[in-house]
Amino acid sequence: MEWFVIIPFMFLLFALNMRIYLAMFAAIIAYFMFFAQMPMQIAVQRLIAPTQNPSLLAIPFFILLGTLLGTTGIASRLLRVADLLVGRMVGGLGHTNVMLSTLMGGLSASNLADAAMMCRMLVPDMIRQGYDRGTAAAITAASSLITPILPPGIALIIYGLVADVSIGSMFLAGILPGLLCSALLILTVWIVARREGYRPSRSTRPTAQETGRTLIQAWPAVLLIFVIIGGIRLAIFTPTEAGAIATFVTIIIGLFVYREMRLRDLTDAFGQTARQTASVLLVIMMSSALAWIFSLEQAGVALADWIMSITQNPWLFLLMVNLLLLVLGMFIEGNALLIILVPLLKPVVVQLGIDPVHFGIVVILNLALGTLTPPVGTVMLMVCNLTETPFAEFIRKGWPFMLALLAALLIVTFVPAISLALV
């Protein structure tokens, strides 16, 4: 069990704010130098092996897709659709914020990109209409958590690769939990809006002419959602092929249909996608080597035996996992936790008869909540920075939305059918 020291060593490097892939790389090198009776060339082989997986191609396609949305005009048209649907409700702009995140979640794949876009598109209008800055920031941050759960969230792809689960199944499993989060957030916005006196964003019902015009302008964006989800569900193409087709269609829409995207926007998107893909791929390479070490040392078996000695109740186990991830998510970045803990916990999941797809949605929802909690909540920090919201104000105004998301987590955890109904 001497090898076990690499785990606290890795967490210590995380705490010292070292980049995720460097901390994992240091742990891998430490294992091969001090505990493994194997040449260092094996470490190199284990790092390179995951790059041969063709499923990884889905990641750059969906990152590029999310990057292009803001420049093609698709996001602004989805905003009009969202306003059409919920604008007349009390707190109309808050509902529009949540609804737009739900519509964008089927396209953007990144909660950080989603939150940044909302901060620019909606928060200034919310403040002008009388919303408290902290409330506007909290709604924006909370609604962005829908994105990693709805397909094609990058976390769904990474979990599928790490846990050896069908990415298409993960995409389908995320739909209903994502819609549940959206519904609970809309209910919470309505309660807060009534208490604070926030007005609807529109005072009249949309006319048939306005509705028709808005839907006609937005049909390419709606088509993209059906291309991604419907194509995978009907087994017309794989998630990777869906990403490639959706990206190609988005470029055509931006250049020739809406004509709002310039060639410079396209080259900038390619550069940004390359940087983000490299970052994600480095983490996946390190995680694959770590998973191989855990398998070699039978770490998952040891953890399974220890947990089974405490409880053999699958519901109690899931509750323990929720508490563990919520606490660790306050201090450690979500993707790092997913990559480290899933290979260790999967043997337990199998022994307890828990569906790995359902377990994946529970894990991803937990880690999404971690992006809202101090001290390292990435979405929380970015939204506070972009909206110039004091940290204490964000916490004070954001707790109702956090409670709504925690309620969604508990429902998804103890009602597996929500995750598995469409799979």
Most confident of 17-31, 48-62, 169-183, 194-208: 169-183
Q: For the segment 32-42, what is each residue's pLDDT rounded down to a tens digit?
A: 888 877 888 88
Domain range for 296 is 2-420
**In whole angstroms, what separates CA 163 from the centre of its chain?**
17
Cα–Cα separations (whole angstroms), residue 81 to 33, 95, 249, 258, 278:
57, 12, 20, 16, 34
Task: Give the Cα separation of 390 and 133 in Å (integer).
Answer: 9
| Residue (of 393, 284, 332) closest to 47 by Cα position | 284
| 375 φ, ψ (degrees, to nearest 5) | -95, -5
Q: Do residues 174 and 150 touch, judged by C-beta distance below 8 A?
A: yes
Tell me what pLDDT residue 375 has: 61
Average pLDDT for 255-263: 84
Tell me what pLDDT residue 135 has: 92
Most confident of 118-132, 249-263, 346-360: 346-360
The structural domain count of the chain equals 1
Average pLDDT for 47-72: 78
Average pLDDT for 404-414: 95
Average pLDDT for 257-274: 86
Tell me what pLDDT residue 37 has: 78
> Residues with Cβ < 8 Å from 147, sequence gap 6 or more?
101, 104, 105, 108, 109, 110, 111, 113, 114, 153
Tell me what pLDDT residue 107 has: 64
Q: 73 or 176, which is more confident?
A: 176
pLDDT surpasses 80 at 280: no
Q: Is the dihedral of CA 300, 306, 312, 313 positive or negative?
A: negative
Average pLDDT for 68-78: 77
Task: Give the Cα separation of 163 and 355 in Å (integer).
Answer: 12
Tell me what pLDDT residue 306 has: 76
Tell me what pLDDT residue 233 has: 65
How would residue 355 be classed by pLDDT, with cut points 50, 70 and 90? very high
Task: Give the Cα separation of 160 and 155 in Å (integer).
Answer: 8
Q: 163 or 361, which is more confident?
A: 361
Q: 191 or 129, which is more confident?
A: 191
Tell me what pLDDT residue 62 has: 78
pLDDT surpasses 70 at 108: no
pLDDT surpasses 90 at 181: yes
pLDDT surpasses 60 at 1: no
Average pLDDT for 98-115: 74
Tell me what pLDDT residue 331 has: 67
Tell me what pLDDT residue 3 has: 65
Average pLDDT, the chain: 83
Average pLDDT for 370-380: 76
pLDDT surpasses 80 at 150: yes
pLDDT surpasses 70 at 309: yes
How would residue 2 be classed by pLDDT, with cut points 50, 70 and 90? low
- Which of these ranges, 57-66, 374-383, 402-411, has the smallest mean pLDDT? 374-383
Average pLDDT for 378-404: 87
Tell me what pLDDT residue 106 has: 60
Tell me what pLDDT residue 184 has: 96
Tell me what pLDDT residue 174 has: 93
Average pLDDT for 246-267: 85
> Residues with Cβ < 8 Å from 39, sequence gap 6 or more?
none
Average pLDDT for 236-240: 77
Q: For the chain, what percent of residues have pLDDT higher than 90?
A: 16
**What SS3 string covers the chain?**
CHHHHHHHHHHHHHHCCCCHHHHHHHHHHHHHHHCCCCCHHHHHHHHHHHHHCHHHHHHHHHHHHHHHHHHHCHHHHHHHHHHHHHCCCCCHHHHHHHHHHHHHHCCCCCHHHHHHHHHHHCHHHHHHCCCCHHHHHHHHHHHHCCCCCCCCCHHHHHHHHHHCCCHHHHHHHCHHHHHHHHHHHHHHHHHHHHHHCCCCCCCCCCCHHHHHHHHHHHHHHHHHHHHHHHHHHCCCCCHHHHHHHHHHHHHHHHHHHCCCCCHHHHHHHHHHHHHHHHHHHHHHHHHHHHHHHHHHCCHHHHHHHHHHHHCCCHHHHHHHHHHHHHHHCCCCCHHHHHHHHHHHHHHHHHHCCCCHHHHHHHHHHHHHHHCCCCCCCHHHHHHHHHHCCCHHHHHHHHHHHHHHHHHHHHHHHHCCHHHHCCC
Both tokens of residue 168?
Answer: 């298409």
Average pLDDT for 161-188: 91
Average pLDDT for 147-163: 85
Neighbours of 263 (CB within 10 A): 8
Would you call 97 exposed, middle or buried from its count of C-beta atoms within 10 A (0-12, 13-18, 19+)?
A: buried
